[in-house]
């Protein structure tokens, strides 16, 4: 049974049992404490916690997940994967244990020809929380399981909580017995790989507090509405139903493994280490494909770093399998074909996905080349010193700074007959992990407690009226000060105000929050920010500028009309620029982020190289032509599937509900899903002027533009500048570039001539400087200030000439000069001086200290500098003093 068919049967079964089928949320979660959707429950947390009223009483889904905390186990066990799919059925205060157990058992054991999964009941075991007699009895009654196949286990395995105050409850897990050839008898309690957990039923029935650890807390009492949260691992069901030994050999993963075998020329199943590498490649290619499809791009931090790490582990594994040439074009194409039936987007967006994958592989192969050169130096130095071990710190530097995998370092060192101090490397890695965990804990502690909004959200969604109105009368539903609910807020206080209706736009979709005020009887509030702390609720951060505001009072939200006009212009201009980019560069130039505020827009898009001046001009012209044509801007609210069928562009990673708002500019010319505010016709945008284009990552570019009156002012300023240049240079406007180029060339020639004169003047001082040599201890020393010089290279060259002219005696030369107002001292020593203890780097450091700066270098020549040019005599004296001390 194919993986996609298992998912289809699961969803069909629960749809037949009155569950709303919910599409998978993005792998990119908006939970600030998480990088990814790590479990099936993540999208439903607001409903399970009671922060947001659920839109349906029961639901089912197939949720995409990414989890990398066990990444080192991938390929080593039958079921550790970074990307996985979690089938789940959910009840929000509707059914509870009896029905949850009944649904799970019926679907699992129903014959395949009746639409079930066809498991033999004799192969299934169940665990329950040791104190959950109700679940135990229900398994006996509903499933008719014998007592010896129901095992009671403790909190560490059969009790669910987030580790934070809130909902919690016991769980019951269903296991499949692979058979005696896979391990010992005794059921799941043996913790043996023979028993594979396939489904977990969480009975969310208690409220907990005083959480001391994940398994140590106080139970406050039962929840008013008990929830069901289940998760069935799709990959685990698939490898059992397909009769293979692990998830890597299932129909959605095995094709990539087979391609890796073909490319390497090695055999799967012949060598354990190779088998692990093949599985890592298969798992990580699929995970990378799905992350790219959800809009994640490789980078050095956050989600992008995780993606980069997965992709680089693929390259490393292929290299260890003997393949050093690029392979992503072939591996990712195979994964695309395997996943397209379940996720058509991987084929529809293949051009963009493959562009990122191939670019990342090319970049890392160059990194490997650079890292290999650094490692070769380390190997040579270790051998030259008579050592046999590369320091762990150097291996860590290669890994952490250059992305050079430790396994590759170990392999290359072994080939050279050396070892790596792995213990020191592991210590440094552990310290890095602890820092990362501390940072994650800090983020979790800083996460706002959304439970304060629960009661307010339960009264319904905040109605946003700002699409049509700039002023709306409403009522104060709630006031928060320092995260606590209060009845009133007085003059001078900063507070959050929740209204039943508001005309003020909350920051989202790249558009910044509206500016404005909220007024009522006897009070006025200055709006500092507008946000959506939980879905459907709008919160206004305000300063009470006069009077006192209380819950239940009338309130009128008033939008700053001029600022809103500018924001509308910028947001519509962003859509025009996006359409112009796609017209010019093609469909693969997709949006990766944006920022719109009055008079300004910033737009990030996927593209691997800088735009030429001609391309930027073309984009700007297309966008402004759309402005000139006064295209009609219309909005429609319609089902998500219908909007997509009409070609509406969605922003990667953005969460969309069943109903979406689609913004058309000129009909299908620009058609995007967007909740922002827009102009009525494109002519209202006024003017778009591109002012910047830059890189924001290996495969992302950014364009910036001024809009409307701000664009006009910028162009007017440039016109004034051109006018001033034509007047000053007495050159017609059209001849300015040639005239400026001519003046620049003349200036460079003059500067070169002056530098040559200055260098000659310094060189002419060589005999006089040699004559000034004096004895300081065993050394002949020249310590002189040259006055001003054009470059440090000239000073260095003269110092070396003086040193060489003084012959084989122990010689130290220290020459100081002023370069553009800043002092520099160059120290040069010969071999005899160094043998006598004079090190140029030490002496330069002594000089730099006197100059108020820093310095150093090699033993034979070094340089120091600072900020106080008047201290040059003291710096030269410090060199002599250091020689005397030595």
Per-residue pLDDT at 447 exceeds 50: no
SS3 433: helix
Per-residue pLDDT at 444 exceeds 60: no
Residue 290 tokens, joined: 């799905």
- The predicted pLDDT at position 690 comes to 95
- The predicted pLDDT at position 379 comes to 86
Q: How confident is the model at residue 820 (pLDDT cuts 50, 70, 90)?
A: confident
Give tens-digit pLDDT for 339-383: 999 999 999 889 889 988 998 898 888 877 777 777 888 888 888
Question: What does the domain layout of the chain look like in residue ranges?
Answer: 3-249, 258-444, 450-559, 564-716, 731-764, 765-885
Euclidean distance between CA atoms 253 and 268, whole angstroms: 14
- Whole-angstrom CA distances from 490 to 478, 541, 544, 555, 597 are 14, 14, 6, 15, 31
Query: What's domain 3-249's superfamily in CATH?
Result: Bira Bifunctional Protein; Domain 2 (3.30.930.10)
Least confident range from 133-147, 658-672, 752-766, 785-799: namely 752-766
Q: How many CA atoms lie within 13 A of 579 on its CB side?
A: 26
- The predicted pLDDT at position 655 comes to 63
For residues 265-284, give the mean pLDDT.
94
Q: What are phi and psi of 874, to 5 degrees?
A: -65, -35
Give tens-digit pLDDT for 501-516: 999 999 998 999 999 9
For residues 77-100, give the mean pLDDT.
91
- The predicted pLDDT at position 755 comes to 76
Query: Is the CB of residue 557 less than 8 Å from the CB of residue 504?
Result: yes
The CA-CA-CA angle for residues 284, 162, 227, to 5°, reads 105
Query: Is the CB of residue 841 less than 8 Å from the CB of residue 809?
Result: no
The chain-wide mean pLDDT, for the chain, equals 89
For residues 303-318, give the mean pLDDT.
89
- The predicted pLDDT at position 401 comes to 67
pTM attached to this predicted model: 0.69
For residues 515-528, give the mean pLDDT.
96
Instruction: Return the sign of the alpha-carbon dihedral for residues 690, 694, 696, 699.
Output: positive
Per-residue pLDDT at 34 exceeds 70: yes
450-559 architecture in CATH? Answer: Beta Barrel (2.40)
The pairs formed by 120-123 with CB atoms below 8 angstroms and a separation of 24 or more are 121/145, 123/176, 123/177
For residues 128-152, give the mean pLDDT.
95
Q: At what angle do helices 350-384 and 406-415 cross, to 10 degrees?
A: 40
Residue 561 tokens, joined: 């009309």
Least confident range from 20-34, 145-159, 558-572, 575-589: namely 20-34
Q: How confident is the model at residue 101 (pLDDT cuts 50, 70, 90)?
A: very high
User: What is the assigned CATH class of domain 564-716?
Assistant: alpha beta
765-885 architecture in CATH? Answer: Roll (3.10)
Which residues belong to the annotated binding site? 571, 575, 674, 678
For residues 242-267, give the mean pLDDT.
94
For residues 824-832, give the mean pLDDT.
93
User: What percentage of the chain has pLDDT greater than the value 70?
Assistant: 97
For residues 403-419, give the mean pLDDT.
79
Q: How confident is the model at residue 402 (pLDDT cuts 50, 70, 90)?
A: low
Count the neighbouring beta carbons within 10 Å of the beta carbon of residue 646: 13
Euclidean distance between CA atoms 66 and 52, whole angstroms: 25
- The predicted pLDDT at position 446 comes to 39
Q: Which contiguous run of DSSP H or E holds residue 262?
A: helix 254-264
The DSSP code for 739 is H
Euclidean distance between CA atoms 443 and 526, whole angstroms: 29
Euclidean distance between CA atoms 472 and 470, whole angstroms: 7
Query: Is the CB of residue 49 less than 8 Å from the CB of residue 167?
Result: yes
- The predicted pLDDT at position 647 comes to 87
Euclidean distance between CA atoms 22 and 61, whole angstroms: 5
- Whole-angstrom CA distances from 38 to 34, 82, 145, 307 are 8, 10, 32, 14
In 3D, which of 86, 84, 104, 97 has the Cα closest to residue 14?
Answer: 104
Which residues belong to the annotated binding site for Zn(2+)? 571, 575, 674, 678
Count the neighbouring beta carbons within 10 Å of the beta carbon of residue 585: 18
Least confident range from 207-216, 498-507, 717-726, 760-769: namely 760-769
526 vs 606, higher pLDDT: 526
Q: Are strands 548-550 and 488-490 parallel, antiparallel or unpaired?
A: antiparallel
Give tens-digit pLDDT for 703-733: 999 999 999 999 999 899 999 999 999 999 8
């Amino acid at each position: 049974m194919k993986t996609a068919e298992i998912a289809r049967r699961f969803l069909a079964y629960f749809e037949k049992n009155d569950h709303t089928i919910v599409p998978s949320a993005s792998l990119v979660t908006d939970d600030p404490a998480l990088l990814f959707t790590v479990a099936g429950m993540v999208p439903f947390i607001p409903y399970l916690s009671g922060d947001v009223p659920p839109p349906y009483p029961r639901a089912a889904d197939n949720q995409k997940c990414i989890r990398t905390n066990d990444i080192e186990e991938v390929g080593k066990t039958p079921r550790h994967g970074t990307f996985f799919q979690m089938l789940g059925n959910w009840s929000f205060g509707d059914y509870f244990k009896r029905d949850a157990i009944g649904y799970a058992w019926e679907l699992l054991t129903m014959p395949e020809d009746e639409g079930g999964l066809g498991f033999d009941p004799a192969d299934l075991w169940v665990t329950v929380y040791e104190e959950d007699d109700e679940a135990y009895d229900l398994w006996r009654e509903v499933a008719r399981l014998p007592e010896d196949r129901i095992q009671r286990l403790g909190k560490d395995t059969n009790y669910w909580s987030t580790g934070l105050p809130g909902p919690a409850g016991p769980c019951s897990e269903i296991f499949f017995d692979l058979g005696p050839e896979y391990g010992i008898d005794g059921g799941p309690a043996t913790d043996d790989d023979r028993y594979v957990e396939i489904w977990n039923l969480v009975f969310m029935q208690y409220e907990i507090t005083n959480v001391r650890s994940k398994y140590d807390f106080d139970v406050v009492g039962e929840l008013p509405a008990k929830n069901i949260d289940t998760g069935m691992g799709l990959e685990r069901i698939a490898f059992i139903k397909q009769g293979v030994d692990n998830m890597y050999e299932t129909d959605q993963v095995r094709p990539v493994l087979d391609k890796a075998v073909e490319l390497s020329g090695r055999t799967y199943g012949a060598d354990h280490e190779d088998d692990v590498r093949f599985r890592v490649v298969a798992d990580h290619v699929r995970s990378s494909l799905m992350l790219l499809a959800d809009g994640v791009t490789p980078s050095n931090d956050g989600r992008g770093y995780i993606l980069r790490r997965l992709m680089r582990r693929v390259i490393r594994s292929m290299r260890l399998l003997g393949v050093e040439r690029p392979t992503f074009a072939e591996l990712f194409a195979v994964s695309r074909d395997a996943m397209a039936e379940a996720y058509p987007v991987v084929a529809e967006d293949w051009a963009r996905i493959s562009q990122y994958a191939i670019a990342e592989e090319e970049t890392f192969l160059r990194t490997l080349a650079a890292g290999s050169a650094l490692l070769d130096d380390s190997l040579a130095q270790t051998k030259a010193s008579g050592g046999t071990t590369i320091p762990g710190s150097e291996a860590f530097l290669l890994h952490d700074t250059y992305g050079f995998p430790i396994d590759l370092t170990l392999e290359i060192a072994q080939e050279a007959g050396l070892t790596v101090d792995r213990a020191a490397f592991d210590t440094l890695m552990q310290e890095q992990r602890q820092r990362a965990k501390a940072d994650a804990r800090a983020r979790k502690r800083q996460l706002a407690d959304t439970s304060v909004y629960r009661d307010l959200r339960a009264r319904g969604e905040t109605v946003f009226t700002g699409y049509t109105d700039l002023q709306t009368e409403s009522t104060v539903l709630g006031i928060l000060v320092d995260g606590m609910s209060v009845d009133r807020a007085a003059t001078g206080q900063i507070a959050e105000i929740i209204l039943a209706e508001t005309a003020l736009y909350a920051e989202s979709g790249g558009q910044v929050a509206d500016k404005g005020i909220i007024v009522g009887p006897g009070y006025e509030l200055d709006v500092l920010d507008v946000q959506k702390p939980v879905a459907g609720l709008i919160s206004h951060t305000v300063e009470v500028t006069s009077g006192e505001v209380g819950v239940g009072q009338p309130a009128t939200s008033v939008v700053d009309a001029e600022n809103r006009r500018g924001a509308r212009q910028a947001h519509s201009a962003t859509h025009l620029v996006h359409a112009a980019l796609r017209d010019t560069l093609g469909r693969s130039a997709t949006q990766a982020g944006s920022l719109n505020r009055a008079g300004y827009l910033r737009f990030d898009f996927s593209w691997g190289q800088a735009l030429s001046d001609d391309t930027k001009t073309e984009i700007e012209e297309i966008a402004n032509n759309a402005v000139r044509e006064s295209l009609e801007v219309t909005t429609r609210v319609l089902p998500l599937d219908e909007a997509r069928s009409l070609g509406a562009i969605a922003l990667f990673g953005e969460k969309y509900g069943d109903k979406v708002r689609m913004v058309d500019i000129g009909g299908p010319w620009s058609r995007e899903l967007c909740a922002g505010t827009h102009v009525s016709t494109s002519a209202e945008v006024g003017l778009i002027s591109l002012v910047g284009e830059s890189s924001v990552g290996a495969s992302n570019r950014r364009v910036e533009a001024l809009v409307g009156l701000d664009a006009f002012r910028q162009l007017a300023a440039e016109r004034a500048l051109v006018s001033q240049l034509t007047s000053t240079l007495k050159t017609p406007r059209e001849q300015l570039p040639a005239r400026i180029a001519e003046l620049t060339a003349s200036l460079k020639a003059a500067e070169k001539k002056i530098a040559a004169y200055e260098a000659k003047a310094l060189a002419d001082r060589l005999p006089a400087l040699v004559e000034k040599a004096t004895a300081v201890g065993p050394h002949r020393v020249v310590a002189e200030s040259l006055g001003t010089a054009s470059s440090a290279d000239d000073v260095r060259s003269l110092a070396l000439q003086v040193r060489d002219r003084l012959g084989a005696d122990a010689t130290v030369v220290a020459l100081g000069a002023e370069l553009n107002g800043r002092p520099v001292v160059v120290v040069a020593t010969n071999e005899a001086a160094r043998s006598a203890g004079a090190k140029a780097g030490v002496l330069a450091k002594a000089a730099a200290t006197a100059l108020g700066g820093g310095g150093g270098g090699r033993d034979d020549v070094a340089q120091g500098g600072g900020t106080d040019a008047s201290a040059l005599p003291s710096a030269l004296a410090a060199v002599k003093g250091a020689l005397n001390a030595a």
